[in-house]
Amino acid sequence: MTAGPPEATPPAHRGPLSGLLVADFSRILAGPYATMLLADLGAEVVKVEGPGGDDTRTWQPPVRDGVATYYLGANRNKRSIALDLKDPADLELARELARRADVFVENFKPGGLERFGLDYDSVAAGNAGVIYASISGFGSAPGGRSLPGYDLIVQAISGFMSLTGEPDGEPYRAGVALFDIMAGLHATIGVLSALNHRHETGRGQHVEVNLLASALSGLANQTSAFVAGGVVPFRMGNSHPSLYPYAPMMCSDGELIITAGNDAQFRKLCGVLGVPELADDPRFARTEDRNHHRDELRPLLLERLRTRTKMEWFRDIIGAGVPCGPINTIDQGVAFAEEVGLDPVVTVGEGSAAVPTVRNPITFSATPPEYRLPPPTLDEHGDELRRWLAAPADEEASA
């Protein structure tokens, strides 16, 4: 592990990745999300930004105190330095950071860092143990390396949008940059795996993740339907191709998602709804039967559900052990997480600099995530980081 910048880590800090130095040359979402997860777990993350800053600083509204909430959502626990890689002095600082880093994360277009001597081969030549993670849209092979990779484009190209929307309607994107987040998670898994390999062998390596591969992997049963079964999935609105009921269903005041994932759950659902005979009806007794006869089953379920409110049914159906839930807005979703004890919001920083953020979803019994720094302003830590990088590494290590 490499000694981090001075005063970077409080003495009591005990995160599972404490002592790791991450050079974060990424921007927008996939890379910053991955490095924020590493930072939450104790790594020291130095966020390197161009003079104009991370693009998402300008992606607004919405804002908090004039700062885009998009940026705030993926950049806590980091320290920012603004470096112009076209400036020789700044480029040397960037190279020095790369020489000291345990992990280097970037999402430039493949080959984009070669002219700065910050590509994997160049960095590894001076830092053999570095874990160098590259995130791209379509990989580094000749056919994809020149293609720009935005999440929406990958949602379209992967086939995801062909599955999203009403059967007779137009394709829709997801309401979040789904594959940016998924690629960020895959990059984090890759980095941690490579760190374990380095622990065993002393050798670093190049980890590559791309949005399209993450999308095809994340489409799971839908891509499997094609590659294993020769079936091209299609839009079914909110219906599931293999389960029923597994969809929103209208109650007296709104919709409730009901998911009877097996025959036993369906029998319990029928009991709660007061129609136990449906579980013995040969049209509905088995999962396969319910799929084939969903048009006959649906009105029978809706007839009962419309007699009460969604929250009345929610309490009773959940109480019977059948998964279900109301369709909430984001604020209601956060409130529900609070109700069930997840404490979803953590405030990072103090006073006017305090920023509410969404809690890291991982819990540890011994080394919990920590929330040390609010998302940094552009070059907020530039002076101290420049002094640290300008000092000889051996001198810094002995300080």
Provide the token pair at 303: 């007839």
User: How far apart, in whole angstroms, are the C-alpha atoms of residue 290 and residue 266?
Assistant: 10
Peptide bond into 62 cis (omega under 30): yes
121 C-beta neighbours (distance < 10 Å), count = 10
CA distance linking residue 369 with residue 193, whole number of Å: 19
- 247 Cβ contact list (under 8 Å, min separation 6): 238, 239, 240, 257, 258
Active-site annotation holder among 180, 280, 295, 331: 180
Is there a catalytic annotation at residue 180? yes
Of 316, 319, 102, nearest to 205 (Cα)?
Answer: 102
In SS3 terms, 154-197 reads as: HHHHCCHHHHCCCCCCCCCCCCCCHHHHHHHHHHHHHHHHHHHH
For CA atoms 195, 196, 202, 204, the dihedral sign is negative
Active site residues: 180
